[in-house]
Structure 1
Amino acid sequence: MTTEAPRQRATAEDSSAYGESLADVYDSLYPASGPAVDSMVAFLRELRPAPASLLELGVGTGRLAIPLARHGYRVHGVDASPAMLAKLHENDPTGEVTTSVGDFGALAVDERYDLVLTALNTFFMLPTQEQQINCLRGIHDALADGGAAVFETYNPQVYHRLTEATTRVGHLAPDALLLDTIQVNQSLQSVLVVHTIMDSGRLRKVPEVSRYAWPAEFDVMARLAGLRVTGRWADWDRSPVTDQAEKHIYVVERQSV
């Protein structure tokens, strides 16, 4: 079932192209079950328990939204890619998650949510600081009284310290290979990852561009949007942040008047 809860201006062409290109292999890249998903669900259940309402930005194929709905959350997902959402509905045949197509960087909502989730580096896929601040402003307006927004991002140190192009190889299936080529522009805080997928004799390339924000910068952008960071951890298990951490988990709430 598709609803029109958050109204969107569908201008995220890059995000849409990324999703359209990877929708058929996305579930292989990011499995919808396992310890990572379980720990995320446990984190959110402690933060705001079900049956809280939850808006996921960049919902993809439902890797997180579907388990959350099955744990009693009322979940709506936004994504720029119709192909991603079509795959989500295949994965969710009972229609527990409602969706809409749109640009989460220009978010405007009619409903307010107890939780807003932006997982798996999605926030960094907004390519400019201005767009990231606009997204935070939209999240501010989307939060219900007492609500919280949760962000999962990579630790900028992971990429910022790369001074040369780097290649990583992964296996999608017995007959499918993923080759990632990573280039970093430190002055622009920009990362270009070219995903090369080789399967069944076919080869395709999918570019992914992200703009990372340092923790202090994220704090300032949140404040400009009327929000404040109330927690930061290195993973869903609430482990402390270190320079070696692979990711950051932020919890953000509205500023007190």
Structure 2
Amino acid sequence: MDTFTLKQGSAPLLISLPHNGSYIPDELAARLHSAARRSPDTDWHVAQLYEPLAEELGASVLKPVASRYVIDLNRPAGGQALYPGRRETGLVPTIGFDGEPLYLDGQEPGAEEIQQRIDCWWRPYHQALVEEMARLKAQHGQVVLWEGHSIRSHVPMLFEGRLPDFNLGTADGVSCGSDLQRNLTHVMEAQRRYDFVVNGRFKGGYITRHYGKPEEGMQAVQLELSQCRYMDEDSFAWDATKAALVQDILRKLLRQCLS
């Protein structure tokens, strides 16, 4: 089966949605606790948020099929921690965001299985990402990689209290140029509906940090959205009214990437 889909656009903007997938193979699902089989830590509906905007703006969209429980595409293949000293779920998670185990006793994957998942799921996604960025850069001389993510507004294992609505990450200004970061910040400051932070709890994951090389004409920005702003966090149901308001801000942010 295909492990990802890529819709190529003509503008120098690639929208990557590495946690949009929720598919868990049957043989893996049988080894998981029943709650984990729902893949609750999916970045629900981010493709539904971004794809209409990508069509409008001419951006490319890359998204995986599989759940992050199969493998987390936003982690280094070597398994290094993104935030040393903090609890996190890792390359092949064995716990969820609630801190509870995903696998039944004795069913966790070993080193050989982890390597198989890297080869089957992780490498093809990253190869597609590299090739699409290269294609767009060759056409335009520069490219922006936009990492679209979302998460529940309250995840005590990862952060205290309520997460801000919009969480922009640029690896503390390393993954994109100062002009782009400033312009994105201005977009958020100009609206009053949502609170936001730049390089707060989420500074950008592996993809943002690894592929953002502004000195080479490749900028990268991560946006972590609070799910309560466009969906129901308990049922995972899409909220069209809320989502339309979020998309208005997303459109303005993405336009800054193309300005």
Same fold (TM over 0.5): no
Greater relative contact order (Cα < 8 A, sep 6+)? 2
Q: Name the structure with the higher helix share.
A: 2
- TM-score of the superposed pair, with normalisation by structure 2: 0.28
TM-score between both structures, scaled by the size of structure 1: 0.28
Structure with more of its chain in strand, by fraction? 1
